[in-house]
């Protein structure tokens, strides 16, 4: 190994070949809490290939910008860029349907670029999760676990996720099926879909669905350390973990969402309601259920524009586990009409004295804000309420 020459172009073994081996085959080795750690890979590169540490660090950082191996898409645009620049809670690869496909997943593979999702209904629902081998020349045999979570303004901790079991064998981990319905390894660019997981819904209340793939090269552990930083970065850096489906038709004038502060100290958050095509005269309010937070409720804000943002800031107590009530009252007393939506976005608000300030600036490429000591908003979750045709 020490005699191998690292090339950046031309024939022979190239730097990206080495990066692929380290980051696809040994992803679990370099995983540190919520992401792969380039410092560990830097040491290996430097020691094995006798590369100067600065050069080795560049190799390591570049290699970790792309997820290699088993990828499940967070959106249809997701190609595995790390950290994911797209919406984190709208996976195209989580499928929910009332139809049980037995052992033949071909329709879900053949319709790869279609979103196939039906809001869970009372009774038996069947959940499937798609994945593919991206940028790794070799066989990978993945398994997947699926969970249910309550709708939330901030991504909830795994301790509050409910495990689903495979329909046929009632196991926590499901196999991935290839085209034709057989279980087998995925080589480069091969696509697959999990066997069915059963979700027995006793109400039509909205839920979120989480899928986590593991393989012989990467154990997608849910042992995520407590903390806001860990919850938001775990999903952004994990190409084998996906979340769906924080979009739901309005069912009543009041929608209740879970709200968290994962840190063991009070932290500032900002909650925004982005109102699009909401009828003028509609009253929208963001209300916290905690009596100590009443003074920072948004109260009723009247909608007067086709696009309008309502926001409220709050310092949530340490380890807060509460609720946010979104109240939408249209002038005619009906639910939102078709084409209208209210998207609830939550962000962790960091000032320049916060210990995670510079980390957040790097994560969000907000270096200009950091140089000006401006507050940085770290996205923590979103939930969209959409109108119907009444």
Beta-sheet strands, E only, within 109-178:
123-134, 143-149, 162-163, 165-166, 174-177
Domains and CATH numbers, the chain: 15-63 (no CATH), 69-245 (no CATH), 248-386 (2.60.120)
At 8 the pLDDT is 42
Say yes or no to pLDDT of 281 above 80: yes
Q: What is the mean pLDDT of residues 50-64?
A: 84
Say yes or no to pLDDT of 131 above 70: yes
Q: What is the mean pLDDT of residues 223-227?
A: 91
Output the CA angle 224-177-151, nearest 5 degrees. 40
Question: How many residues belong to the chain?
Answer: 390
Task: State pLDDT tens for residues 248-264.
Answer: 888 899 999 989 999 99
> 218 or 12: which carries more pLDDT confidence?
218
Say yes or no to pLDDT of 270 above 80: yes
pLDDT-wise least confident of 4-13, 91-100, 132-141, 234-243:
4-13
CB 27 within 8 A of CB 34: no
Task: State pLDDT tens for residues 80-107.
Answer: 998 898 888 889 999 999 888 765 678 9
Residue 98 token pair: 């009332």
Q: What is the mean pLDDT of residues 39-43?
A: 86
At 180 the pLDDT is 87
Q: What is the mean pLDDT of residues 137-155?
A: 90
CA distance 118 to 144: 20
Distances (CA, A) of 138 to 20, 27, 134, 390: 11, 15, 10, 52
DSSP labels, 363-381: HTT-HHHHHTT--EEEEEE
At 9 the pLDDT is 45
pLDDT-wise least confident of 22-26, 291-295, 304-308, 353-357:
22-26
pLDDT-wise least confident of 62-71, 186-195, 223-232:
62-71
pLDDT averaged over every residue in the chain:
87
CA distance 4 to 103: 46
At 13 the pLDDT is 57
pLDDT-wise least confident of 89-103, 261-275, 342-356:
89-103
Task: State pLDDT tens for residues 152-188.
Answer: 888 888 999 999 999 999 999 999 999 888 898 999 8
Residue 379: which of 74, 71, 23, 161 has the closest Cα? Answer: 74
CA distance 194 to 189: 16
The pTM for the full model equals 0.87
At 3 the pLDDT is 36
Residue 161: which of 127, 210, 202 has the closest Cα? Answer: 210
At 104 the pLDDT is 66
Output the CA angle 116-203-91, nearest 5 degrees. 25
């Amino acid at each position: 190994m020490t005699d191998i020459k690292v090339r950046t172009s031309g024939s022979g073994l190239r730097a990206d070949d080495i990066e692929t081996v380290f980051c696809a085959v040994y992803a679990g080795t370099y995983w540190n809490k919520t992401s792969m750690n380039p410092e560990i890979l830097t040491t290996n590169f430097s020691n094995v290939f006798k590369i100067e540490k600065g050069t080795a660090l560049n190799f390591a950082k570049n290699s970790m910008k792309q997820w290699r191996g088993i990828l499940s898409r967070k959106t249809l645009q997701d190609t595995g860029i790390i950290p994911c620049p797209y919406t984190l809670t709208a996976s195209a690869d989580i499928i929910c349907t009332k139809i049980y496909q037995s052992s033949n997943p071909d329709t879900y593979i053949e319709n790869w670029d279609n979103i196939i999702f039906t809001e869970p209904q009372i009774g038996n629902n069947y959940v499937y999760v798609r994945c593919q081998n991206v940028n790794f020349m070799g066989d990978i045999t993945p398994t997947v676990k699926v969970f249910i979570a309550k709708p939330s303004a901030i991504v909830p901790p795994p301790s509050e996720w409910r495990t689903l079991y495979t329909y046929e064998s009632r196991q926590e981990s499901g196999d991935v099926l290839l085209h034709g319905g057989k279980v087998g390894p995925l080589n480069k660019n091969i696509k697959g879909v999990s066997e069915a997981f059963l979700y027995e819904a006793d109400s039509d209340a909205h839920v979120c669905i989480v899928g986590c793939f593991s393989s012989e090269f990467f154990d997608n552990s849910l042992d995520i350390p407590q903390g806001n930083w860990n919850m938001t970065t775990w999903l952004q850096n994990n190409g084998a973990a996906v979340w769906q489906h924080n979009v739901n038709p309005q069912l009543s004038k009041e929608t209740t969402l879970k709200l968290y502060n994962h840190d063991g100290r009070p932290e500032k958050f900002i909650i925004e309601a982005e109102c699009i095509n909401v009828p003028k005269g509609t009253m929208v309010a963001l209300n916290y259920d905690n009596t100590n937070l009443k003074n920072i409720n948004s109260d009723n804000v009247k909608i007067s524009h086709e696009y309008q943002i309502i926001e409220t800031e709050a310092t949530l107590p340490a380890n807060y586990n509460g609720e946010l009530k979104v109240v939408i009252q249209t002038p005619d007393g009906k639910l939102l009409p078709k084409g209208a939506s209210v998207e609830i976005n939550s962000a962790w608000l960091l000032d320049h004295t916060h210990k995670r300030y510079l980390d957040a600036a790097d994560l969000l490429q907000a270096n200009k804000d950091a140089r000006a000591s401006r507050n940085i908003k770290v996205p923590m979750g979103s939930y969209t309420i959409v109108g119907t045709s009444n």
